[in-house]
Chain A
């Protein structure tokens, strides 16, 4: 192995990738995406829909609808004083003797004026149930507003009906809100919310997935390009295949590192100088320093592990189509932690998740996902890294062997049996 030759390859790869426009675009876009992921959901939550929702209320109980309308009037007046548009709902009483079905049909009619129909019923056992027929029932906010209102009206009604004094009624309306506090290693605590945790974890695993897949495919395309442009023969007259492959892997990995460093520096600047009050939406300790370094470790090792796979695939394929077929399983394996993020968040210590996070195929993304959710026991982190490092060595041997033979092959893609024969050959 000649360091000088290796250097020349690393330098060439690095220069070629960094000079590309796509590097600049991806480097800039990812933080923007990150910002969007953090901010957009909360913005969406805050944005009040301008449109007034017109809802026809079929009240079979006889007391709810009047209260609803009165309440809304009071709310509107109060909101007007505060200059707050409030929740714009207009309740409409149905025209007498019109069937509910007619109104529901109108909701279905796209040009119809009515956005929803609310039916409130008294069951025989005295329970009150309600159904909402809406154009857009995924508007959680509207449904939850209606629900809250009905509940409070019901409570008021019941309290009044049972002759409970207003004072007691107020006390009864009290609610306890739970503030979630996450306990870290060493008893450190931090406030957080499910949404924030989910977003961060989603972002971490998604980013790691994108980096490994992205740079892995860059490597694969590079290998394919050298093969199809035949330059590889000239290269191999001055280099060993192992030197060429290692040089390419290291060159591309350093591009990834550079990109990561740029992000960290940008992040550090944002936190230190805090323009646009950026940090206000994030808590201190939202991202832990060890997360930043472990992310790096898992990116580098994960990339090295998959690099051998991608290089081997690039060396046996000659068209994009062939490559895409072969890439699919790898994409699925790497994206797996993102797909089961919900399950991981609920129980990041489930036995099967712990076991999977130690297996090199999954460990880069899965272990990092767990680390970003919870304090993973040290032994698990270390064994995951050690096993992954061993996996890297094994894959380098396996992939290198396929690469060495495949890179000079022309014509048809080799069958799996031929590849096994290459592996057996010395």
Chain B
């Protein structure tokens, strides 16, 4: 296996409050991994432990099967949730500074910094001080500081928060490009659509614990509802619908139902055709990660209340 990040039974508490409780997860290479969870779920604490800023109370975190202290300069990239740059430094200088911290020579750092600025359309701002930039521009610089040195693993904490739609697209492109260039990305977000579009694998954290974990497609299959809406051109054909589905709702010319497990869409459509039914529209209500997220988090709360 191409192990990039392995977290085993990691816990961390502040005072008597658990921030992260017995979390285990694996991130494989060359993918974008999504860390989801409501605010205060413990995402940032987990990320800070991955970056070695906090030490876990128990459990182990290994990166490239190594201890964090053995990780070489420049193998990691980081976009912290709390954005921050030296306000009085020039954009070009601050980027080369971080490139140098990550093992580049001064000359190479300067060149790469300029390339990065060009990529995000800030070439003309290279000699300007960070404090003169707008918030969106500062965030671009911050993203560059995380990805510009081509790290093997980049941890991006809420990379899309506070961005306008145009810049969200730009950030998506940059992050995907980094993945294509061999950077494994772990990003946290609570913008589900974005995670759904970008990530292959996710972990949903709630109250410090992992409540959902796995491939995005698999999660959808297991947790999403299988609601189907069928519109007919003719009358609704006679069929033992209850055998295939439940929650049946008949309306004039349309049918809404949830397929039972093991029953595929294809099977239902074939059965309807056999009975001479004319299907005008067959709509699978694919429940989004958002719905799953809400369902799981709310379900948890209900369980806890009981």
Contact = CB atoms under 8 A, between A and B. Distances in A.
B73 interface: yes
Given A4-B103, A237-B51, A408-B53, A230 B80 contact: yes
B85 interface: yes
Interface string B31-59: 00000000000000000100111100000
A237 B78 contact: yes
A144 B29 CA distance: 91
A238 interface: yes
B156 to A, nearest CB: 12
B4 interface: no
B66 to A, nearest CB: 16
Interface residues of B, number: 26
A218 to B, nearest CB: 13
A238 B73 contact: yes
Interface residues of A, number: 24
B103 A237 contact: no
A5 B169 CA distance: 34
A236 B53 contact: yes
A231 B97 contact: no
B73 A234 contact: no
Contacts of A233: 48, 53, 78, 80, 82, 84
A234 B145 contact: yes
Given A4-B73, A5-B73, A408-B53, A234 B84 contact: yes
**Which of B76, B80, B98, B101 has the largest number of chain A CB atoms within 10 A?**
B101
Interface in A195-230: 225-226, 229-230
A239 B101 CA distance: 8
B89 interface: yes
A12 interface: yes
B92 to A, nearest CB: 13
Nearest to A244: B101
A232 interface: yes
Contacts of B275: none
A173 interface: no
Interface string A54-91: 00000000000000000000000000000000000000
Nearest to A8: B100
Contact of B84 (A4, A8, A15, A230): A230
B108 interface: no
Nearest to A7: B100
B102 interface: yes
Contacts, number: 64
B119 interface: no
A26 B145 CA distance: 34
Nearest to B77: A237
A424 interface: no
Contact of B80 (A4, A225, A237): A237
A263 B298 CA distance: 70
A8 B101 contact: yes
Given A16-B88, A229-B87, A234 B97 contact: no
Interface in B230-263: none
Interface string A121-141: 000000000000000000000
**Which of A5, A9, A229, A230 has the largest number of chain B CB atoms within 10 A?**
A229
Contact of B102 (A225, A226, A238): A238
B106 to A, nearest CB: 8
Contacts of B89: 16
Contacts of B145: 234
24 contacts: A4-B103, A7-B100, A8-B100, A9-B101, A12-B97, A15-B93, A16-B88, A16-B89, A226-B86, A230-B83, A230-B84, A231-B86, A232-B84, A233-B78, A233-B84, A234-B80, A234-B142, A237-B51, A237-B52, A237-B53, A237-B76, A238-B101, A239-B101, A408-B53
The 4 closest A-B pairs by CB, nearest first: A230-B84, A237-B78, A231-B84, A8-B100
Given A8-B100, A236-B52, A408-B54, 4 more contacts: A12-B93, A234-B80, A234-B85, A236-B51
